[in-house]
Amino acid sequence: MPFDGSDVYLLANRLGLPDIERIAARAGVMSVLQITAYYASRRVRHTVARVVEHQSGAIEMQLAYEGVNLEKPIRLPVANDNLEKIQAVLLEARFGKLGDQANLSYDERSLWLIQQAAGTHAHGILVAPHRPELPYSIIVNAIDAYLPEAIREVPLRS
């Protein structure tokens, strides 16, 4: 089967999460950053982490794990400083103009779908976080440093 990334793109929907475009368009929402972590080896659970920034100043991360039956995603606060640093890195890397990292396949150890939405605009890219190619590595390193909960690997139980 040729690589089209559809499994990665459809993961949030399979976990019952609404589209980030719908979340970003809600009253009081300033921006949404979503990181979908997809693991080919299936030794850990696929994860969707969504950071929602509200006009009130509240910033919250919602975490959903494939195979974990939760009525609602786990919710964690995010420090304003951490979100600002991630947003600065995305701006520096020209995230809005980036396409997917080249030569991706389902054979990658892991794939991240990084999406950002505000108002009616949304953009996303697929990256292989273990392949350090600029400018993707700058984004991957920032997520690792400032939002480590978003990419925390949760093992499958044997």
pLDDT of residue 107: 79
pLDDT of residue 1: 45
- What's the pTM value of the predicted model, to 2 decimals? 0.92
pLDDT of residue 108: 80
- Residue type at position 124: G
100 Cβ contact list (under 8 Å, min separation 6): 5, 125, 126, 127
pLDDT of residue 2: 56
- In the chain, which stretches have pLDDT less than 70? 1-5, 157-158
